[in-house]
Amino acid sequence: MTKPKLRIGVLISGRGTNLQSLIDACTQPDFPAEIACVVSNKPDAHGLARAESSGIEAVSIPHKNYESREAFEKDLTAALTERDVDLVCNAGFMRLLTNSFVAHWFNQQINIHPSLLPAFKGLHVHERVLEAGARISGCTLHFVRAEMDAGPIIAQAAVPVLPDDNADSLAARVLTAEHRLYPMVVKGIADGTITIDGDTVSIAAGAEEHAPLLLCPNL
């Protein structure tokens, strides 16, 4: 019997370029996950149009319509649960989450951050990387915890910081790495290569994929 595909719910707030990388991956017949829905807290997020044009259900839940984070997250959880979501994928979702929401989706929610965590948490990452004189930057996929940009690290991709970089050029290079890394991690979770027990992430040995990035682990 064929194993059912992992159903993912993608949370966005903006352009949805990482969403697009997941949409593209899910079009491959052998990819072990499918996008059940895309949810945005901003009704004008371009990522919603990306979802609709690909035949994926797009849901707008404007956070400004709610008096509290808890009320907003109640409807967010309902939307994900009603669509039988197995894994929540934050992809440029610009909302801090309460302890209650994180606990509800414990080890079933992942996030991508445009730095090599635990360095450079928070906003304005690329400007701070350049100000610090770092020679290497990158991105990190991790399981979500209540603290911002914290949680067990699943995988990272590194890119060089070039002498003539500005924040925009560095951001573009990191974003390219994000687009490679996110589908790899979702695939690993879906096919059981990547597992988590408590706060410990385990990655089974598998076929290596050679890429012009330093991927840790090499998925």
DSSP H or E stretch at residue 156: strand 153-160
Helices (H) and strands (E) in the chain, counts: 6, 10
Q: Cis ω on the peptide bond leading into residue 217 (within 30° of 0)?
A: yes
Of 63, 104, 113, 179, the active-site residue reads 113
113 catalytic residue (yes or no): yes
Phi, psi of 157 (to 5 degrees): -125, 135
- Any bridge partners for residue 201, and if so which? 196
Based on the number of CB atoms within 10 Å of its own CB, is 73 exposed (0-12), middle (13-18) or buried (19 or more)? buried
- Tokens at residue 127, please? 């400007």
DSSP-derived secondary structure for 21-77: HHHHHHTSTT-SEEEEEEEESSTT-HHHHHHHHTT--EEE--GGG-SSHHHHHHHHH
CA end-to-end span of the chain: 26
Mind telling me the catalytic residues?
Answer: 113
